[in-house]
A and B are shown apart, each in its own frame.
Chain A
Amino acid sequence: MTVSPTPVPAPSRPAARSVPAGDPASNSHLVIDNVTKSFGDVQVLHGVSLSVHRGITTAIVGPSGSGKTTLLRLIAGFEAPDSGSIVLADEVVAGGTRLVPAHRRNVGYVAQDGALFPHLSVGRNIAFGLDRKKFRSRAAAEARVAELLQMVSLEPAYARRRPDELSGGQQQRVALARALAREPELMLLDEPFSALDAGLRVATRKAVARTLAEAGVTAILVTHDQGEALSFADQVAVMRRGELAQVGNPFVVYTRPSDRETAEFLGDAVILEADLKGSLATCALGGIPVRRPTCQGKVHLMLRPEQIRIATDGPIAGTVLETDFFGPEITVRLRLHPPAGADQLHGETITIRHWNASLAQPGTELRLRVIGEGVAFPA
């Protein structure tokens, strides 16, 4: 892997956005160490290590088939790793000869479609995992169900409904309430929003994030949707071909991806040939500062499209080749005019975003300005 994610505690990376105050670095809730897993001849996980702090939300994001769901299932205890170990709250739950079965892990799990039991009412679904010693009376169980429903912003009357009478978003919220009923230490969410339509997805995601934050539960979300990962999580782990390519704060991972593939997976990227000397890269867009460069000489320079703005006094000129209208914004493909004395970088084309459709008719000449720093990858 290109960037080794931190093993055990002591993260060298910027800490997540909302680590509880006074949390020592050693307070790792979940530690996955060098875990591998194969199905038949296909190795799905190639030595994955990840550490998750108590109370934060981590998103594991990657294309389908990257092994992210398998990793989640190993944490839940539905599968056993071939090698490596998983430590949950200082207890080895998988590793060596030790394997704690799923029902003894106290790990909540919300499946893609909610997986509500079709033969039970909403209330009974939620009460399914309740500790019968703790909730001996029916009234106590009902009160707890009502409380859990409230946590996911559903009326207590929903307890009497059947799962098939609920909308997809409501079903997901009930599934979350059911998983929260046992007050799990760790909540696993397996693409819980992907089956919902766009509008509902955002609303449900926000509701779930709020509920998890209020309950103070450590959560791991698996998703193939970069936007969802970046907006939902305190920590993003980018998974690719069974390895973690990068782990870190969403802003850092997005603006300073560790390699070109990660950069392009997490969002649109403008990649330009550049010559890097010290911390200044010279390319078709002029000189761009690069923070903490890892290489020198001929490089690929990555900028996010939103860093390139149209400005009448911009130092770079380009001609509009074509545009694509999306309503609130427009993508504009431009051919850059080579800057004086740099004809070897003649005529590169880039795609940027802009909000004003009328400005960007094909053939128009635009002036551009670059904001912020670029990221250099070895060419």
Chain B
Amino acid sequence: MTPAAGTSVSRRAGAAAGRRRRPPLPVVAAAAAVTLGTLIPLGFVVVMTVATGWETAVKLIVRPRVGELLANTVALVVLTVPLCIVIGIAAAWLVERTRLPGARFWSLVLAAPLAVPAFVNSYAWVGVIPSLSGVGGGTLVSVLSYYPLVYIPAAAALRRFDPALEESAASLGLGRWRTFRRVVLPQLWLPITGGSLLVGLHLLAEFGAFSMIRFNTFTTAIMEQYQSTFNGAAANMLASVLVLLCLLMLLLESRIRGNARYARLGSGAAGKPAALPLGRYRLPALAAVAALAVLALGVPLGSVLRWLYAGGTEVWNWPVIGQTLLQTLGFGVAGALVTVVLAFPVAWLAVRHPGRFTKLLEGTNYITSSLPGIVVALAFVTVTISLVRPLYQTVPVVIAAYVVLFLPRALVNLRSGLAQVPHELEETAQSLGRPPLTVFFRVTLRLTAPAAAGGAALVFLGIANELTATLLLAPTGVNTLATRFWTLSSEIDYSGAAPYALILILLSLPLTYLLYTQSRKAAGQ
């Protein structure tokens, strides 16, 4: 009995109760194994860089070609990210906080370009402006493809925003613009930094869209190098630089984001934000929103339809389309299922047993999630060829690459799903005489099912639109919609590629809608 403990026996101890128990060993082992698996690409880059040797590495990295790629990539990021932020925030604000005519309609339409893969967007714009190329072309296509990554979270944040904060600012003598700058904008900091990171990582990873308009970035150069020399040190070194850029971006984002608290303080239900009358800016605002929708959604759709019309009925090669669709569904469903199953132990540990170990697991997955498909693909090519030759270009390896690429999508969803199953429910089920495994299946798994389905859908969407890893790893003769589209459009058979573009867009639309409604739900509507 130590009376010295005194009041330090605090609320904290009570809150920690139930989570401090040691997690079951099989779950820990499974989560650790999955995380180790996701480290393969990073390990590959490190091992390859070391194996290449310092001198060769410097020779391969310090050369005009790399300088040009670096300049292109940096210019692309510096131009695209700010544009995405401005467009995304402005669109979100107009749609959510003003009396824009048809705001609900526009709010959905402006999210829809997420369903158009960047390489389809690029293909469409080449049709409109055949001379499209270089940094300008890359920026145009990127901004139109990726601004929803800022727009969707920003719109969700604005909808959740408590109008009492703005009212307080007004009562403290701040005008409308100063209120926006000093109260509203800081609240958008997380969507801005998080969205910018996503845009940046997409820019580094994108291959198809830039290759189509002959704009050279690290990713396109690695692909070119790989296709000409198969597995050379040159491609590997470019990959090292690319990984370095990705890690720099992660670091930059975590520095800028900081750890300030933006959640609403205090209790009680938040009021509904008031919509601002636009007055004489009504028409210009409407025109701007409509123009964005036309550029980002109208042009790709119109272009695809134009090529379809030009191609007539013969582009609808049904046996091939059917086979490609089936193969895409096969890859997508298998990849989504495997990814969600493997994500479960990691997510479960992160939610139920938060600690140093689970932080490490999460951090690892966070870093892996930033790696471009081309790096993951190169890693798996090298590992299979040098270690497990018979597995080279087989389905299990493709699925494994998908797991590494898309695990974070499943993790995010599963985490929030599991967090909504309070452990009191599990304990109550136990006190009702059900053993832990039964409790897991009848309570935990059942309640997590919607989140798991959402995660699986996102993984599926990623796989259907994935290009680089599938091109490098898929068995010969196996094509997904994306690779078939890519092959045809590379052969300048734009009409033949059009059906695949259309199917890709149609397939992605419902899932984009799901994402959109999820963000609304998260905002409490």
Contact = CB atoms under 8 A, between A and B. Distances in A.
Contacts of B21: 79
Interface string A99-131: 001111111110111010111000000001101
Contact of B12 (A42, A108, A181): A42
A320 interface: no
Given A39-B16, A40-B16, A79-B17, A101 B430 contact: yes
Interface stretch (A61-69, A147-155, A283-291): A61-69
Interface string B412-438: 000000000010110111111111100
Contact of B431 (A46, A76, A112, A119): A76
Report the interface size class on chain A: 35 or more
A47 interface: yes
A78 B18 contact: yes
B2 A65 contact: no
A43 B429 CA distance: 28
A109 B5 contact: no
Given A66-B9, A243-B1, A129 B434 contact: yes
A105 B17 CA distance: 20
Contacts of A118: 447
B187 to A, nearest CB: 30
B424 A65 contact: no
Contact of A65 (B11, B427, B430, B435): B11
Contacts of B12: 42
Contact of A43 (B2, B424, B432, B443): B2
A242 interface: yes
A103 B436 contact: yes
A42 B20 contact: no
Contact of B17 (A69, A175, A188): A69
A317 interface: no
Interface string A180-192: 0110000010000
Given A44-B9, A79-B21, A103-B435, A70 B427 contact: no
Contacts of A64: 11, 14
Nearest to B8: A42
Nearest to A76: B431
A65 B9 contact: yes
Contacts of B425: 115, 117
B370 to A, nearest CB: 33
A246 B436 CA distance: 36
A146 interface: no
Interface residues of B, number: 36
A375 to B, nearest CB: 22
A106 B433 contact: yes
A299 interface: no
B470 to A, nearest CB: 37
A60 interface: no
B13 A39 contact: yes
A272 to B, nearest CB: 27
A117 B5 contact: no
Contacts of B16: 39-40
Most A Cβ at <10 Å: residue of B5, B12, B433: B433
A1 B13 CA distance: 21
Given A42-B9, A46-B1, A182 B433 contact: yes
Given A46-B1, A65-B7, A118-B447, A181 B432 contact: yes
B431 A103 contact: yes
A106 B17 CA distance: 21
Interface string B13-35: 11011101100000000000000
B477 interface: no
Most A Cβ at <10 Å: residue of B10, B13, B21, B446: B13
B427 A42 contact: no
A101 B429 CA distance: 12
Contacts of B17: 39, 44, 69-70, 73, 78-79
Interface in B190-223: none
B3 interface: yes
Contact of B14 (A69, A119, A243): A69
27 contacts: A42-B8, A42-B13, A43-B2, A44-B13, A64-B11, A64-B14, A65-B7, A65-B13, A69-B14, A69-B17, A76-B427, A78-B430, A79-B21, A102-B427, A102-B431, A104-B433, A109-B431, A112-B424, A113-B424, A117-B425, A117-B443, A117-B447, A128-B434, A129-B433, A178-B432, A182-B432, A188-B431
Q: Which 8 A-B pairs have the closest CB atoms?
A: A129-B432, A109-B431, A102-B430, A115-B424, A115-B428, A111-B424, A42-B13, A103-B430
Given A69-B14, A70-B17, 13 more contacts: A1-B1, A46-B1, A46-B5, A47-B1, A64-B11, A66-B9, A103-B430, A103-B434, A105-B431, A119-B446, A131-B433, A182-B433, A242-B5
Interface of B: 1-3, 5-14, 16-18, 20-21, 422, 424-425, 427-436, 439, 442-443, 446-447
